[in-house]
């Protein structure tokens, strides 16, 4: 009875909050978060996405709020209405306008921004590309960011950078939409998808198989237990934070986890085998076992239908219009960062060429230094002669060229936003070798 009264009171409180806010929709309102004490000032809109209301801040940005988490502090005089409400154009000049005739009076639209993540996730240039796209979305005052996932996966360190950007977004709703030619969001793609607030999938797509790996500077792949353990913990925490089934996330990354479907009082839960046993003991006849989603010894991958059944995906959406309809958005514009895939490929290739050029300069000069080192190619009794001195100075010149090339390589190795082709430890080892050799040659000239 107490639980029923509590739920009833919560519903009344939410309705009261909405009525207060609705009465001041056209006014500048000051709200205070009941838990954190955060103060925001702006105008409440009529836009709703997944039970969240869009609050338009005075700064021009927008924030999604859950009404019951806020209280009205004060209401100012009515502010100017938003006069923009016009079409939004993407980088390629495309505009998607889901409203009626241009002459009709328009409601405030949802401004969406589509960011494609396609193909192998292998370069940190993707993170910088997403930074650029989010800056553009913010300038366009978008309140919905859609990450279109169409990838078989890739490097976890790159995905982690993307996730950091996604979880830092507090001015727009974030969703993942699995669609495209590859029809999948696997490995790092699943990792990124779970970082968003909601996942939507086109028919015949799949998500999962998030076994972690990270590339080495030699191009090989390492999968050590320490790395896997840290990744699993982060994957679980991410799923829990965004409200995705944690047992599903575990089964996608850890083959020792078995995920099962159970019902308690007719309500579905997705849990591990160990959790299922505890629920059975606790609830007795109210407990009913459903399907085995993933057995031990296997890594979980879900179809769109399965993801929908087990609460991973919110809905299926085969195209952009379907996607918006599933989110109950009828009035919207969509801008697309179509340039990202090509930009990432070109940027990664340019940076790789920059590294290769510096490495080739280093290698060729070091080879020449070895060939002109008098201690290697001349007899000891020639030390101090003119040919010895000339060859020593020539060798030291090559070593200086090596040092300049190594300085450029070091910049790349120490840049956290660049693809690492060599480790800082390797650079330091070469610096020590060059310095020791240069000092040795210099000392021989002073004798």
Q: Residue range 305-328: average pLDDT?
A: 96
Query: What number of H helices and E strands is found in the chain?
Result: 13, 20
Mean residue pLDDT of the chain comes to 83
Spatial separation of the C-alpha atoms in residues 266 and 375, rounded to whole Å: 84
Q: Is the pLDDT of residue 86 over 60?
A: no
The better pLDDT of the pair 6, 365 is held by 365
Q: How many CB atoms lie within 10 A of CB 244?
A: 25
Structure tokens given for 15: 């309705």
The better pLDDT of the pair 337, 212 is held by 337
Maximum CA pair distance of the chain?
103
Q: How many CB atoms lie within 10 A of CB 255?
A: 14
Spatial separation of the C-alpha atoms in residues 143 and 42, rounded to whole Å: 15
Task: Name the percent of the chain lying above pLDDT 90.
Answer: 59
Q: Helix crossing, 340-371 with 386-414: angle to 10°?
A: 160
pLDDT of 223 reads 54
List pLDDT tens digits, range 153-181. 998 889 999 999 999 999 999 999 999 99
Q: Are 210 and 190 in contact (CB under 8 A)?
A: yes
Only one residue has tokens 């007719």, namely 266
Q: Residue range 75-102: average pLDDT?
A: 41
Q: Is the pLDDT of residue 11 over 50?
A: no
Structure tokens given for 339: 């340039």
CA triplet 375, 376, 377: central angle to 5 degrees?
105
Spatial separation of the C-alpha atoms in residues 168 and 182, rounded to whole Å: 28
The better pLDDT of the pair 187, 76 is held by 187
pLDDT of 269 reads 94
pLDDT of 89 reads 42
The better pLDDT of the pair 269, 228 is held by 269
Q: Is the pLDDT of residue 4 over 50?
A: no
Q: Are 146 and 323 in contact (CB under 8 A)?
A: yes
The segment with the largest mean pLDDT, out of 57-71, 90-104, 319-333, is: 319-333
Query: SS3 for 316-384, per residue?
Result: ECCCHHHHHHHCCCCCEEEEECCCHHHHHHHHHHHHHHHHHHHHHHHHHHHHHHHHCCHHHHCCHHHCC
């Amino acid at each position: 009875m107490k639980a029923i009264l509590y739920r009833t009171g919560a519903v009344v409180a939410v309705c009261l909050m909405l009525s207060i806010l609705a009465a001041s929709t056209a006014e500048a309102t000051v709200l205070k978060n009941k838990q954190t004490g955060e103060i925001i000032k702006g105008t409440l809109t009529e836009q709703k996405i997944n039970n969240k209301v869009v609050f338009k801040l005075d700064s021009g940005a927008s924030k999604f709020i859950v009404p019951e988490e806020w209280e009205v502090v004060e209401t100012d005089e009515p502010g100017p209405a938003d006069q923009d409400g016009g079409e939004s154009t993407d980088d390629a000049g495309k505009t998607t306008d889901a409203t009626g005739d241009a002459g009709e009076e328009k409601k405030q639209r949802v401004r969406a921004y589509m960011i494609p993540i396609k193909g192998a996730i292998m370069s940190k240039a993707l993170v910088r590309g997403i930074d650029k796209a989010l800056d553009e979305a913010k300038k366009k005052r978008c309140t919905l960011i859609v990450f279109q996932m169409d990838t078989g996966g890739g490097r976890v360190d790159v995905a982690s950078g993307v996730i950091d950007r996604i979880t830092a977004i507090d001015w727009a709703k974030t969703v993942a939409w699995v669609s495209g030619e590859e029809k999948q969001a696997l490995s790092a793609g699943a990792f990124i998808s779970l970082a968003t607030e909601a996942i939507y999938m086109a028919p015949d797509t799949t998500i999962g198989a998030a076994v972690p790996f990270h590339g080495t500077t030699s191009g090989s792949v390492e999968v050590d237990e320490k790395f896997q353990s840290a990744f699993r913990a982060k994957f679980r925490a991410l799923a829990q934070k965004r409200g995705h089934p944690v047992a599903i996330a575990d089964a996608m990354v850890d083959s020792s986890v078995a995920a099962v479907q159970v019902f308690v009082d007719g309500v579905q839960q997705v849990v591990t085998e160990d959790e299922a046993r505890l629920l059975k003991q606790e609830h007795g006849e109210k407990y009913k076992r459903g399907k085995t989603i993933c057995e031990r010894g296997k890594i979980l991958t879900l179809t769109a239908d399965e993801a929908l059944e087990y609460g991973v995906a919110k809905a299926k959406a085969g195209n952009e219009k379907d996607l918006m309809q599933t989110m109950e958005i009828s009035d919207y514009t969509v801008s697309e960062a179509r340039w990202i895939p090509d930009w990432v490929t070109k940027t990664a290739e340019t940076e790789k060429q920059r590294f290769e050029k510096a490495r080739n300069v280093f290698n060729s000069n070091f080879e020449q230094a070895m060939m002109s080192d008098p201690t290697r190619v001349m007899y000891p009794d020639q030390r101090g002669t003119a040919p010895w001195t000339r060859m020593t100075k020539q060798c030291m010149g090559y070593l200086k060229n090596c040092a300049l090339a190594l300085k450029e390589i070091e910049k790349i190795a120490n840049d956290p936003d660049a693809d690492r082709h060599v480790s800082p430890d390797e650079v330091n080892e070469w610096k020590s070798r060059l310095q020791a050799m240069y000092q040795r040659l210099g000392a021989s000239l002073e004798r």
